[in-house]
Amino acid sequence: MTAAVILVTGSSSGIGRMAANALAHSGYTVYASMRETKGRNAEQVSDVEAYAREQGVDLHAIELDVTSQASVDAAVARIIDTHGHIDVIVHNAGHMVFGPAEAFTPEQLAELYDVNVLSTQRVNRAALPHMRKRGQGLLVWVSSSSTAGGVPPYLAPYFAAKAAMDALAVQYARELVRWGIETSIIVPGAFTRGTNHFAHSGRPADEARALEYDAGPYAGFGREIQAAFDRIVPEDADPATVAGAIVSVVDTPFGERPFRVHVDPSEDGAAVAFAVIDRVRNEMLYRVGFSDLLKPRGISAPEGSR
């Protein structure tokens, strides 16, 4: 039986790289995508190649800039040319920013939306025609508990982009199920250690506006928020558990995969909120006669699934 071919976006570090490694160890053919494989990420490419050799796994680095349709198309075409199919897409690429919302320019918000939301549309448009032609596939979306849980200020642009991505994932699920393509949404909570999210987060371009906040009633607020995160996130919270959840979803047989999986060490309430939100959405589909859009049926299990 041919191993499923998986593309993981945003795999130069963090959860993306962890997921790519874990999926490869589970026996899949995995492409860990990243920008500028011959430039800024050359060291990461070498590390992926060395890891694959040392561990004896089918793991490959591939250049893919999620902000460029041409780059996305080229990467997907390379995978199709090599294997003839692509079975799983893990939408993981994303970027975080931190600071008062007013101090971010509209252009910064557009850039953040591009990376976190439009990137998934580019990858989908490149990969879905191949999945639809075969009548099988799986989209795994790495969302955020911020889309429904209790959240602090100063992360508004990132949270807004993640909410948009989650909404897109839900609608795609309904529009792909009749093609035999499944959807699972992974919902991580806050992880303050083990990833580069906070260390590499963007800052407001309008520094003068940000300073007005820091010189006014919100003086020191950014530091307070990060300290609060450190208090509520357990010290042993490991982002590798998110990678494990992704592997578990891919390993699950076709037709039995969960729609949402929560991995939230701080327990911010997203699991409770989404239980209600998703139920309401599902009930509406039942009311209007589209309950078949909730689960794929009458389709054979995808080749390589286990």
Confidence (pLDDT) at 153 = 93
Mean residue pLDDT of the chain comes to 92
Residue 24's CATH number: 3.40.50.720
Cβ contact 189:265 at 8 Å = yes
What distance in Å separates the CA atoms of residue 8 and residue 172, rounded to the nearest whole number?
Answer: 18
Residue length, the chain?
Answer: 306
pLDDT digits (tens, 9 = 90+) for 103-127: 999 999 999 999 999 999 999 999 9
Please indicate, yes or no, if residue 119 is contained in any of the structural domains.
Answer: yes
User: What's the total number of domains in the chain?
Assistant: 1
**Distance between CA atoms of residues 187 and 206, nearest Å:** 31
Measure the CA–CA gap between 86 and 134, rounded to whole angstroms. 10
Residue 299 is assigned to a structural domain of this protein: no
Mean pLDDT of the 40-67 span: 95
Min mean pLDDT across 22-31, 62-71, 183-192, 270-279 is at 183-192
Is 305 a member of any domain? no
110 found inside a domain: yes
| Catalytic sites, residue numbers | 158
Q: Is residue 301 part of a domain?
A: no
Domain with 20 in it: 5-294
In a domain, 166, yes or no: yes
In a domain, 306, yes or no: no
pTM: 0.92
Portion of the chain with pLDDT greater than 90, in percent: 81
Residue 12 phi/psi, 5-degree rounding, is -70, -25
Position 190 pLDDT exceeds 90: no
Residue 7 forms beta bridges with which residues?
31, 89
Rounded percentage of the chain residues whose pLDDT exceeds 70: 94
Q: How far apart are CA 126 and CA 253, in angstroms?
A: 25
In a domain, 33, yes or no: yes
pLDDT confidence tier of residue 78, bands split at 50, 70 and 90: very high
